[in-house]
Amino acid sequence: MVEIRRYSPVSFKASAKRSEVRDNWKVVLEYEGEGKGPHLVDLSHMTRLDVQDANVGAITPFGVTIPEVPGESVLKDNVLINRMNRIQASVFCLDGHKPEIPKESAYTETTEVGMCLAIIGKEVFSILEKLSSLDFTDPARKAPFLFQGPMSHVPCQIITLSKDGAKSGVLFTASRGYGKDMVHAIMDAGAEFGLKPAGEEKFSSWIASL
Amino acid sequence: MMTRFNQLPTLRIDPTKKVIFNYKGKSCAGSEGDTVATALYANGVRVFARSLKYHRPRGLYSLDGECSNTCMEVDGIPNVRTENTLAKQGMEVKEQNVKGSAENDMMAFIDKLDWMMPAGFYYRTMHKPASMWPVAMKQIRKAAGLGVMSPDHVTPGKFDEIFPRTDVVVIGGGPAGMQAALAAADKGVRVIIMESRPWLGGFFDYRAAEYSKGKPLYSRARELAEKVEAHPGIRVLKHTSMVGAYSNNLVTGFQIGGEGDSFTERYVEIRANAVVVAVGCIERPLIFDNNERPGVMQVACAHRLARTYGILAGEKALFSVGHDLGLEAAIDLYDLGMKIACVADIREDGQNPELLLELAKRNIPVLKGWVVTKAHGSKQVKKATIATIDGTITRDFNCNVIVASAGFTPITGPLTLAGAKLRYDSHTNFFIPETLPEKTHIAGRMTGLEDSMAIEASGTLAGIKAAMDSLACTCCGSESASEGDSEGDSKEKSSSSSCCEACDDAALKAAEEALKALPGPSRGTKLVTAPVKGRKSFICFDEDTTIKNIKQAIEMGFDVPELIKRFTSAGTGPGQGGIPGHNLPLFVAKYEALSGVPAPVRPTTVRPPLVPTLIATYAGTNHIMMKRTPMDEMQRSDGGIFRKIGVWERARYFSDDFECKAEIENVRNNVGMLDGSTLGKFRIHGPDALKALQRVYTSDMSKIKPGRVKYSAMCNDDGCVIDDGVVIKIAENDYYFTTSTGRAGQTVEWVRYHTRYDGWDFNMVNLTDSMGVINLSGPNARKVLQKITDEDVSNEAFPFSAYKEFMVKDTIPVKAMRLGFVGELSYEFHVPSSYMVSLWNMLKEAGKEFGIKNFGVEAQNVLRMEKCHIILGQESEQRTNLLDLGLGFLWDRKKTDAKTVGAVALAQAEKDQTRFRLVGFKMENNGRAPKDGSLIVDDKVRGYICTARDSFSLNEAVGMALVESHMAKIGTRLEIFEDECGDQRIYGKVVPMPFYDPDGSRMKS
């Protein structure tokens, strides 16, 4: 009898200390030896949506207003919304539980489209500059904000959620197929800074602190 | 080992820490901070290498890697510039390009044969007879060259890369660069400063001369360095050489890792808003007979050797210089214990009187208007001949070091790469920028300044300008104060312009005034060569190019430095033109002027990398970024052999039998499973979604029926097929469609591009990675499917070309299509990627009793070829249109609502009888299949083989080919020319398509 399970596009070379099954995903809450950071967290199980409409600004996913300017993001009640262009926004539901997906045709669930990872800790931008030439520390950009650009040569959506020292962190998505190689590249870039995989709880407590 | 200074405050070595390495198999000790060359010098090594062509002995000359004199093999890597490579414990150092040793090279006799090798001799002598060239080349390569490397050499170490962003990048960590960095950072912008040496300080770092009362220059250098390194707005990249500059202020370089760094070398790519170039000057080599003999060195080389590394270059030196730094060095080295035979100063006048007084105090004779003309000694300097600059009077001096320098020359490479045009400045004898690229500023010695205060002030000014370039105005929206400046003053601004940092030009004006109050650019010396004939006077050490060679080239008609450079190879060696640099154009201009043909003085072109480094550094971490399907791991554990296909890694085979007999037969007789997840998948929705589909697909998409799959194709404006796939209507104004794997990345842009003027309201989402695809094919496919779902999947309920959505085990949502690409009963399941492994395992378990097995992309390729189903890119190329492929039935000629992309071209092509046609063929006499891509020929090329295989299903070789239309008739004999077949041809015959199951009963039943 085959057990029905959902598999994340990424896996870490680390042992799960605590985990739970949620909507058929095995969600690791904590890994062995997570250390003090920086941390890489797999959030691929978290629900993500694409919202597209000619009048996308009038849509309020989960009651949150979509930012007006492309490149701007808003984080409210664990809902992260990123304005991508004139007609499109991406929505990340970051509380770890599957929400009721709005029925309107403007929404497309994109959870499965990509991997979703967070890198958190004060060395985040030192790690990122090894992977991308995007200007995450641009003083003119106020977090949270969105970049749609390459990381390790792969097109990504990268949201800088905080540039505040030890609280610094980004969240990003890229095509699911790149999961394995992307994790390899990030872990390699982060090795000199002690980057370690961490469970969902690390992310949850971090995002709650923002 | 010679005695070294170990107490000098300028030392950059730690004499208490020893570094032991191997040199030619023997243990050699240096101090921490030593370069390989300085450590060897301290151990008495004077001859480091032999030259490329003449095998002349070569020694320490610049200490900055400006030539190949000290290139050696280090840890198996040839051509390592040992004079700026730090010595490390356990290093293996060897000489290169010698037969015997550098000291006693058996090939040294070639030096006497220089008369046989005039300028460009290899261009003129090695091409006739042609058969001689390979033989000669082999011998020349044996005798010449700079080191040998195995083709499979793996460079040891960790190679990294960073792509930092900043507001201002300062190239050069000398006094001007440091002041520029501080001035810019004080304005609140982010600054990166790059310095090629392992420390900041530039030409202040090693000098004991006074900066201000009681403060030597080296103290000032350290004071500035401390400030820079402590500034929170400045990032210091030491031991980082710039190698390239590109548009939009993109600066590239590489950094050498030190103790505690996680990398051996790393590539650095900096994007900045503004650039300050403050790289200073190098010494312009003085050209005289045997000017590269070991013992001849530049001023800074001898001075730094003593002050930075604690080594006196020799016991007795003769100085032949053209600038005050030479005089200063002579005084300082005398004070450190070196005997100075004489200072021959090229200049008749203009020396700093204080320095002349100091020289007189020390009884060092100074001869004004004199220059060294010859170094004597076979392997090391023993004597020097000097002469008046007109060559009329000569004198000899015994010495074992000749410190020689014609003058200074700015390091203009970074500016040239950035796009600056250079012009000759007769006052400084420098090439200086006529105009600077936007938001690029220069500072320091490279502007001709020699006064220490002025050099710093120019840095401050450049830093302020660069900062203002970077700052966005927050008050009046005006252009920044420095915008549009070249080298001169800033624009006048209104008195109220200090409303924000970007507009505050008070600091700018103050910096300009400060600079104006200080001494300006100094007069430069113009002498290039001593009064010599030039047979053994080298303008380029790396390529053994002499002044005589340059004259020969000019006399042969090469009248511009750029051509002379190529003809004589001057400046094309590992020193990247450091030695010939500006001497070549200056000499050419002077020589041509003497010949009565004055020519403009133009420097030769420089290209990246300005400083040579390892290819491994450019490769960086070199992570292979490929996409993998959700089934990747499982297919590998099932024995899948993967190949790169576009951006994906896919299982091409499942055994070592690359003809895939077992996989093919299992699909034909039982049931097989293929991972088709790489297919492009899209949702298009919105009120005008159908119009967009009508635009890009050739078929009438309004005829898509609910529960049915519609196969169609997309063409480009030329009617050539670019994509094919299926479209499903999932709701009103809501469609799901597939594309070929290769087109997935471009489809959204393609549709948007072709509807860009219409203002249509539709939305697209790329779901390619979101949905995995399982292709279940074979006569037993239905039996397998029945076991995992309660859905009625009979032929009546789920016929060919039908579409269904259902849940497996009430959990896994499946979009199922009844297709037949491989020519058998087939289902295509589109499943959320995270569930793919689970569904795959369920099918595998259900299919066990029916003999289910994996099949890979190659088996699929053969199966569909037997059925004559096309794969774009295999049966088509850039010029192949829909009609050529026999897919004209996909083109709806009656569509009125939308203009179809490619329709106009197709209408024209329909009447064209000269186009290629896709045909099926079988091989004559049951022959083997030809190779894909083989040509169809008669007296001309008439077409080519698209795909051909020995078919196990048909027991004969079959294939598809694109041929000229007159050859498309059934029964036409095809003459096939395979790669490297010589006179042998194989033959096939055009036959009807498809070859397998022509009536389609197997896939439709």
Q: Could you tell me the CATH number of the domain that includes residue A131? A: 3.30.1360.120
Of the candidates B271, B627, B833, the beta carbon closest to that of A112 is on B833
Smallest CA–CA distance, residue B201 to chain A, in Å, is 26
Distance CA B441, CA A111 (A): 49
Secondary structure in 3-state letters for B904-964: HHHHHHCCCCCCEEEEEEEEHHHCCCCCCCCEEECCCEEEEEEEEEEECCCCEEEEEEEEE
B34 in contact with chain A, both atoms CB, cutoff 8 A: no
- Which residues of chain B does A179 touch, with a Cβ-Cβ cutoff of 8 Å? 628
Each residue's pLDDT tens digit, B552-584: 999 999 988 999 999 999 988 887 777 888 889
Take residue B104 and report the two structure tokens written for it: 């006693």
Answer with the residue of higher pLDDT: A136 or B486: A136
- B463 plus B541 within the same structural domain: no
pLDDT at position B497, please? Answer: 46
Distance CA B171, CA B193 (A): 6
CATH number where B259 lies: 3.50.50.60
β-bridge mates for residue A117, sequence order: A42, A172
Closest to A27 in 3D by CA, of B834, B949, B559, B218? B834
Each residue's pLDDT tens digit, A87-135: 999 999 999 889 999 999 999 999 999 999 999 999 999 999 999 999 9
- B887 plus B989 within the same structural domain: yes
Interface probe with A: pick from B159, B165, B684, B808, most Cβ of A within 10 Å = B165
Give a yes or no: residue B298 inside a domain. no
Secondary structure in 3-state letters for B641-664: EEEEECCEEEEEECCCCCCCHHHH
Element (DSSP H or E) covering residue A124: helix A124-128
Closest to B415 in 3D by CA, of B434, B387, B397, B396? B434
Q: Which of B192-201, B476-485, B526-535, B625-634 has the lowest mean pLDDT?
A: B476-485
Give a yes or no: residue A126 inside a domain. yes
Cβ separation A176–B770 shorter than 8 A: yes
- Which residues of chain A does B165 touch, with a Cβ-Cβ cutoff of 8 Å? 129, 133-138
Give a yes or no: residue B579 inside a domain. yes
Distance CA B585, CA A53 (A): 64
B627 in contact with chain A, both atoms CB, cutoff 8 A: yes
Cβ separation A176–B162 shorter than 8 A: no
pLDDT at position B356, please? Answer: 97
Residues 144-183 of chain B whose Cβ lies under 8 A from any Cβ of chain A: 160-165
Q: What share of chain B is helix, strand, coil (3-state, %, to 5)?
A: 25, 30, 45
Residues 248-267 of chain B whose Cβ lies under 8 A from any Cβ of chain A: 262
Interface probe with A: pick from B191, B192, B470, B763, most Cβ of A within 10 Å = B763
State whether residue B572 is helix, strand or coil.
Answer: coil
pLDDT at position B493, please? Answer: 41
- B712 plus B795 within the same structural domain: no
- B238 plus B249 within the same structural domain: yes
B836 in contact with chain A, both atoms CB, cutoff 8 A: yes
Last residue of a domain, one of B842, B864, B886: B864
Indicate the pLDDT class of residue B831, thresholds 50, 70 and 90: very high
Of the candidates B160, B733, B812, the beta carbon closest to that of A4 is on B812
State whether residue B442 is helix, strand or coil.
Answer: strand
- B892 plus B985 within the same structural domain: yes
Range of the domain at B990: 871-1004
**pLDDT(B759) > 60:** yes
Take residue B634 and report the two structure tokens written for it: 């499982």
β-bridge mates for residue B956, sequence order: B951
- What is the average per-residue pLDDT within B18-42? 96
Instruction: Name, in order, each residue with C-beta under 8 angstroms of A25's C-beta and a sequence gap of 6 or more.
Output: A5, A6, A8, A45, B834
**pLDDT(B487) > 50:** no
Indicate the pLDDT class of residue B501, thresholds 50, 70 and 90: low
Beta pairing class for B215-216 and B210-212 = antiparallel
Per this entry, what is the length of chain A? 210
- B954 plus B818 within the same structural domain: no
Q: What is the number of other CB atoms lying within 10 angstroms of the CB of residue B419?
A: 15
Q: Which of B7-11, B482-486, B978-982 has the lowest mean pLDDT?
A: B482-486
Place of tokens 């890229």: A174
State whether residue B863 is helix, strand or coil.
Answer: helix
Of the candidates A52, A137, A181, the beta carbon closest to that of B626 is on A181
- B774 plus B876 within the same structural domain: no
- B173 plus B257 within the same structural domain: yes
B768 in contact with chain A, both atoms CB, cutoff 8 A: yes
Instruction: Name, in order, each residue with C-beta under 8 angstroms of B915's C-beta and a sequence gap of 6 or more.
Output: B881, B883, B884, B909, B965
Give a yes or no: residue A114 inside a domain. yes
Element (DSSP H or E) covering residue B325: helix B324-335
Cβ separation B838–A189 shorter than 8 A: no
Give a yes or no: residue A140 inside a domain. yes
Per this entry, what is the length of chain B? 1005
Smallest CA–CA distance, residue A138 to chain B, in Å, is 8
**Contact assessment for residue B936 and residue B986, using Cβ atoms and an 8 Å cutoff:** no
- B577 plus B468 within the same structural domain: no
Q: What percent of chain B has pLDDT over 90?
A: 82
Each residue's pLDDT tens digit, B214-254: 999 999 999 999 999 999 999 999 999 999 999 999 999 99
- What is the average per-residue pLDDT within B182-197? 97
CATH number where B940 lies: 3.30.1360.120
- What is the average per-residue pLDDT within B483-488? 44
> A127: exposed, middle or buried (C-beta count within 10 Å: 0-12, 13-18, 19+)?
buried
pLDDT at position B488, please? Answer: 41
Distance CA B578, CA B571 (A): 7
pLDDT at position B579, please? Answer: 82
Give a yes or no: residue A75 inside a domain. yes
**Contact assessment for residue B312 and residue B287, using Cβ atoms and an 8 Å cutoff:** no
Cα-atom radius of gyration of chain A, to the nearest Å? Answer: 16
Say how many domains are in chain A. 1
β-bridge mates for residue B680, sequence order: B739
pLDDT at position B484, please? Answer: 42
- What is the average per-residue pLDDT within B445-471? 96
Nearest CA in chain A to B269: A133
Q: What is the dihedral of CA B316, B320, B324, B326, to 10 degrees?
A: -40
pLDDT at position B898, please? Answer: 62
Range of the domain at A55: 25-210
Distance CA B222, CA B184 (A): 19
pTM of the model: 0.91
DSSP B353-394: HHHHHHHHHTT--EEETEEEEEEE-SSS--EEEEEETTSS-E
CATH number where B746 lies: 3.30.70.1400
**Contact assessment for residue A169 and residue A119, using Cβ atoms and an 8 Å cutoff:** yes
Give a yes or no: residue A10 inside a domain. no
- B493 plus B416 within the same structural domain: yes
Closest to B209 in 3D by CA, of B502, B452, B376, B34? B452
- Which residues of chain B does A178 touch, with a Cβ-Cβ cutoff of 8 Å? 625-627
Phi, psi dihedrals of residue A137, rounded to the nearest 5°: -100, 15
- Which residues of chain B does A90 touch, with a Cβ-Cβ cutoff of 8 Å? none
Beta pairing class for B26-32 and B159-162 = unpaired
β-bridge mates for residue B725, sequence order: B712
- B89 plus B193 within the same structural domain: no
The pLDDT mean for chain B works out to: 93
Of the candidates A133, A152, A154, the beta carbon closest to that of B269 is on A133
Closest to B181 in 3D by CA, of B246, B262, B276? B276
- B252 plus B266 within the same structural domain: yes
- Which residues of chain A does B162 touch, with a Cβ-Cβ cutoff of 8 Å? 129-130
Each residue's pLDDT tens digit, B289-313: 999 999 999 999 999 999 999 999 9
- Which residues of chain B does A114 touch, with a Cβ-Cβ cutoff of 8 Å? 769
B842 in contact with chain A, both atoms CB, cutoff 8 A: yes
Answer with the residue of higher pLDDT: B503 or B861: B861
Indicate the pLDDT class of residue B592, thresholds 50, 70 and 90: confident
Place of tokens 């840890």: B75
Q: What percent of chain B has pLDDT over 70?
A: 96
Q: Measured over all CA atoms, what is the biggest interatomic distance in chain B, rounded to whole angstroms? A: 114
Each residue's pLDDT tens digit, B362-371: 999 999 999 9
Residues 642-661 of chain B whose Cβ lies under 8 A from any Cβ of chain A: 647-648
Of the candidates A4, A52, A136, the beta carbon closest to that of B763 is on A52
**Contact assessment for residue B947 and residue B960, using Cβ atoms and an 8 Å cutoff:** yes
Give a yes or no: residue B145 inside a domain. no
Say how many domains are in chain B. 6
Nearest CA in chain A to B759: A54
